[in-house]
Amino acid sequence: MLRRVRLILLLFFIVFLSISCYDAHEVDDYAYVTTIGVDNGTADKWRFSFQITNMRSSGSKETFDGKETSEYLTITIDAPDFFHAANILDTSIARTINFRHTKYIVLSRDIAEKGEFNETLGPIIRFREIRRTTGVVVSTGTAQSFIEEFNPRIGISMARMQEGLMEQSKQTGFFPEIQLKDFYSGTKSSYRQSVAILAAVNDFSILQQNAEDDENKIELGERKAGELPRKGGNTVEFFGAAVFDGDKMVAEFNGYETRIMLALRGEFKQGVFTFHDPLKPELYVSINLKQQKKPKVKVEFDGDKPVIHVKLLMEGEILSVQSRIDYEEANKIGYLEGAAEDIIKQQAEALIDKAKELNVDFLNFGSYFVKSFLTIQEWEKYNWIERMKDVKATVDVEVKIRRTGTMIKSSPIKGTEEEE
């Protein structure tokens, strides 16, 4: 008996250990691709760029022989198909390319405007290694140059920088947090259209220009990615959004528009709003606004035409008042709230007009109208995505400033030179 059991156990282990472990691969067997990019190619139809890290934490840059190796490299190849490209690259980098930790997919503006997403990178969603939480970015330059610059300048690891960048959407609202699943389902959707993150490489040339005329002055938030007047730090920046109709990119949004778009979609988390002081217009006031509740929406049909009433609810906290006016007081706080409401309402109405003009529902209005339909047949017959141009929309904004920061009052500055 004992012998029989022993024999069976032995056979079991021999057989199983010898035929198993097909999928066992060490961590260092793989080259992990963090970013994928696509451009128009020259040698072949498309040009794919891969950013590959060696998956090492930033702390230990030195290898055994003390030589510093770079943490990432960018490989570019012209190929007719994505996986064809990836497979060919395996032959040169001595490790299998692996997309399990891919964080971003970058489309160049050319590709996006030609609507080639569904031919180039759309199909890769089928591949098991691509996670649907991958971010979708439209680069205003080439994807290749973007990827080459897309790495941390301060000593944090690649993964932390790339993941952290996406998190900033929640803090600022200047770009949408768009994952592949949203983008992909948006291109096929009967409810709405897709947007993507707008990004660019900033060559820091904007800052060096001398002071412009007041008329030409562009407000900071009205700029787009790549145009921010700044210097130093990472050269890449996410700012604004790219709007798609189906899989064709039709418009670029600046920071403010993106923010309002997010607010209308109910996805805005929080962000700093800076605007002219209502009582002293040459100075600025900053408040931090949060969208605590989803917008209140009422929909109805005027005949065949969709009518929508949106009410945005924002809550905020005063961050800074340059004029030192006592907006903390109960009878003055209304000025601030009113000013913020006006600005947001104005921007929202402008954005809705833009949507009607483009006939693209990037505001998710479809998700409200769909509730009036009972069956999928009716809904698809109504063909919502063609109807955006007919929408009649009214926007209400309600801003409540709940907190005033650490100060409940600001005393005037006293000096020999009396100003006030």
305 Cβ contact partners less than 8 Å away, ≥ 6 residues apart: 390, 391, 392
CA distances from 400 to 58, 211, 403 (A): 44, 36, 9
> Which residues ranging from 39 to 68 are in contact with another protein (CB under 8 A)?
53-57, 59-60, 63-64
Collapsing DSSP states into helix, strand and coil, what is residue 255?
helix
Shortest separation between residue 158's beta carbon and another protein, angstroms: 8
Q: Site for another protein (CB under 8 A): which residue of 23, 213, 302, 419?
A: 23
Q: Site for another protein (CB under 8 A): which residue of 367, 385, 398, 400?
A: 367
Collapsing DSSP states into helix, strand and coil, what is residue 18?
helix
Q: Which residues of 251-261 are buried (b: 16+ CB within 10 A; e: fewer)?
A: bbbbbbbbbbb
> Which residues ranging from 150 to 189 are in contact with another protein (CB under 8 A)?
157-160, 163-164, 167, 179, 181, 184-185, 188-189
Shortest separation between residue 50's beta carbon and another protein, angstroms: 16
Beta-strand ranges (E) seen in 41-190 are 46-53, 72-79, 96-98, 104-108, 135-139
Distance CA 24, CA 155 (A): 32
Identity of the residue, 26 or 214, whose beta carbon is nearer to another protein in the bound complex:
26
Which phi and psi angles does 397 have, rounded to 5°?
Answer: -125, 135
Shortest separation between residue 16's beta carbon and another protein, angstroms: 6
Identity of the residue, 95 or 400, whose beta carbon is nearer to another protein in the bound complex:
95
Confirm if 122 and 91 have CB atoms less than 8 A apart: no
Q: Site for another protein (CB under 8 A): which residue of 131, 248, 309, 354?
A: 131
Identity of the residue, 100 or 217, whose beta carbon is nearer to another protein in the bound complex:
100
Confirm if 297 and 369 have CB atoms less than 8 A apart: no
Q: Name the one range near another protein by CB under 8 A: 84-92, 131-139, 245-253, 321-329.
A: 131-139
1 contacts another protein (rule: CB under 8 A)? yes
For residue 29, give the DSSP letter. Answer: G
94 contacts another protein (rule: CB under 8 A)? no
Six-digit token string for 296 = 């209140």
Beta-strand ranges (E) seen in 141-234 are 195-201
90 contacts another protein (rule: CB under 8 A)? no
Q: Name the one range near another protein by CB under 8 A: 127-135, 283-291, 346-354, 403-411.
A: 127-135
Binding residues with another protein: total (CB under 8 A): 67
Distance CA 79, CA 76 (A): 10
Q: Name the one range near another protein by CB under 8 A: 1-9, 224-232, 341-349, 406-414.
A: 1-9
6 contacts another protein (rule: CB under 8 A)? no
413 contacts another protein (rule: CB under 8 A)? no
Identity of the residue, 53 or 151, whose beta carbon is nearer to another protein in the bound complex:
53
Confirm if 106 and 146 have CB atoms less than 8 A apart: yes
Site string for another protein, 190-229 (x = CB under 8 A): xx--------------------------------------
Residue from 309, 312, 190, 298 nearest 259 by CA = 312
Q: Name the one range near another protein by CB under 8 A: 280-288, 320-328, 333-341, 362-370.
A: 362-370
Identity of the residue, 229 or 246, whose beta carbon is nearer to another protein in the bound complex:
246
Pairing of strands 284-290, 248-253: unpaired
Q: Site for another protein (CB under 8 A): which residue of 93, 350, 376, 408?
A: 376
Six-digit token string for 400 = 């409540």
> Which residues ranging from 291 to 350 are in contact with another protein (CB under 8 A)?
none
Distance CA 281, CA 272 (A): 18
8 contacts another protein (rule: CB under 8 A)? yes
Element counts in the chain: helices (H) and strands (E): 12, 14
Shortest separation between residue 28's beta carbon and another protein, angstroms: 6
Q: Site for another protein (CB under 8 A): which residue of 368, 388, 397, 401?
A: 368
Distance CA 333, CA 335 (A): 5
133 contacts another protein (rule: CB under 8 A)? yes
Distance CA 385, CA 186 (A): 11
Q: In sequence order, what are the beta bridge partners of 414? A: none
Rg (CA), the chain: 26
**Sites of contact with another protein (CB under 8 A):** 1-2, 4-5, 8, 13, 16-17, 19-28, 30, 32, 34, 53-57, 59-60, 63-64, 98, 100-101, 103, 128-129, 131-133, 157-160, 163-164, 167, 179, 181, 184-185, 188-191, 364, 366-368, 370-371, 373-379
